[in-house]
Structure 1
Amino acid sequence: MCFGLMAWSTVAWTTEFERLSDDRVILVADEGTAVGYLVLLVPAAAEDPVDLLRIAVAPEVRRTGVGGQLLTAGLRRCAGRTVLLEVAAGNESAGALYRGFGFEEISRRKGYYAGGEDAVIMRLENAA
């Protein structure tokens, strides 16, 4: 599991796939087996921001570029658009990945996650 106790349940995944449409995109990295995934919510109206809902990489292939490849592919899907995401303040590796792609912190949600951890809201203007 990529997120331990925070992983999506089978019901959550089933719901996600049932809701697939032009506005919901799931990308899966595959090297013989699924090693990561990215979920975007892409509104039809170009002026509305894209939400990066989830990105995960299997522990055994972290820091090998899979996350960057998923993020690159996802950002290509929403080129020229604003992309928003939230990340746990303590998730330094994810924060570094996002900053490396040009995301900037725009606000925080205090105590948003279980255990009272803050959510950092990040934005990327004009995704490439």
Structure 2
Amino acid sequence: MRPAIRAARPEDLPELVALDEVCFGPTAWSEGAWADEFDRLTEDRVVLVADEGALVGYVVLLVPPVVEDVVEVLRVAVTPAERRTGIGGQLMTTALDRCAGRTVLLEVAAGNESAIALYRAFGFEEISRRRGYYGGSEDAVIMRWRNDE
């Protein structure tokens, strides 16, 4: 069964916090940070979730007004048990469908090979690196996707 991809709702907050902790451990967003995301949900800030009765993944986008052509992927996560099942691809497809005619940027830890492979499969390309960005020991890879439709 494929999960439903939908906009996050305030009642998803506890599950999002828990999922973020499982996926990101010590760098997880706090409950307060997630609450701030919900306070700022507008057309500019989008949180999409993969829902199978429980949340199994999410993507957070910063989508500025159309006069600015760059969208930023702030966060993507899929619960470890559901990785490599296509949920990350579903989330990215839905997210990128919102970005026609715009450039999309994201950053990912250089050692996160599975995420980098997913992003490359969608046509993202590495455009730069931030040396030692993650704790001084791991680079951040900056990737870009362009869709001129």
Q: Same fold (TM over 0.5)?
A: yes
Letter matched to residue 94 of structure 2:
A
CA contact (8 A) 1:83 1:127 kept: no
- Aligned partner of 1:107 in structure 2 is 128
Written as runs of structure 1 = structure 2, the 5 A alignment for 1:13-28 is: 13-28=34-49
SS of structure 1 residue aligned to 2:123: coil
How many percent identity over aligned positions? 70
Shift of 1:26: 0.5
Contact 1:78 1:127 in 2 (8 A): no
Distance in 2, matches of 1:77 and 1:30, equals 19
Ranges in structure 1 where 5+ consecutive residues have no aligned partner: none
- Are 1:76 and 1:127, in contact at CA under 8 Å, matched by a contact in 2? no
- Give the counterpart of 2:63 among 39, 42, 50: 42
Deviation for aligned residue 1:45:
2.6
- Structure 1 stretches of 4+ with a deviation exceeding 4 A read none
CA distance in 2, matches of 1:60, 1:70: 16
Q: Which structure shows the bigger proportion of residues in strand conformation?
A: 2
Shift of 1:48: 2.4
Across the aligned residues of Structure 1 and Structure 2, the Cα RMSD in angstroms comes to 1.3
| Contact 1:51–1:84 (8 Å) recurs in 2 | yes
**Structure 1 stretch 109-118 or stretch 82-91: which is displaced more?**
109-118
Amino acid at match of 1:97: L
Change (3 A) 1:72 1:36: same
How far apart in 2 are the matches of 1:127 and 1:8?
Answer: 33
CA distance in 2, matches of 1:115, 1:82: 28
Length, aligned pairs only: 128
Query: Which residue number in structure 2 is paired with residue 81 of structure 1?
Result: 102
